[in-house]
């Protein structure tokens, strides 16, 4: 059973930074897709950033402020968040997928970590 554990969330003032970590219970190399989603109360869960086929992708709302990266040796994916805004407040979830034929064959989720940005 694959487990993903997020950490690094917390309280921060607008303009501040946080670094989220997601540690997998095994090598992240086997995943074709690793990413970060977030969900705020009353809103849909949205994809924030991901790594797929060696390339990074970002939602327009975070482009230029957030950076996703991975460390295979540590089985960890990171999300560096800079210039945080109150609208970034949400629960952030780590996600890992095994893709086959372009579809998710297996999908795994972490428990989530709360990020709160004060104005």
How large a percentage of the chain has pLDDT more than 70? 100
Cβ proximity of 48 and 58 under 8 Å: yes
- Residue pointed to by tokens 């540590």: 74
Strand 10-13 to 113-118 pairing: parallel
Give pLDDT, residue 26. Answer: 85
Query: pLDDT band at residue 40, thresholds of 50, 70 and 90?
Result: very high
Give pLDDT, residue 30. Answer: 87
């Amino acid at each position: 059973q694959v487990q993903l554990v997020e950490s690094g969330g917390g309280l921060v003032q607008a303009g501040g930074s946080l670094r989220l970590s997601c540690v997998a219970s095994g090598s992240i190399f086997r995943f074709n897709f690793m990413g970060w989603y977030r969900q705020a109360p009353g809103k849909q869960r949205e994809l924030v950033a991901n790594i797929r086929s060696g390339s990074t992708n970002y939602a327009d709302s975070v482009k230029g402020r957030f950076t996703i990266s991975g460390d295979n040796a540590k089985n960890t994916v990171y999300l560096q968040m800079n210039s945080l805004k109150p609208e970034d407040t949400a629960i952030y979830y780590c996600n890992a997928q095994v893709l086959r034929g372009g579809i998710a064959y297996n999908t795994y989720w972490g428990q989530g970590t709360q990020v709160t940005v004060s104005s």
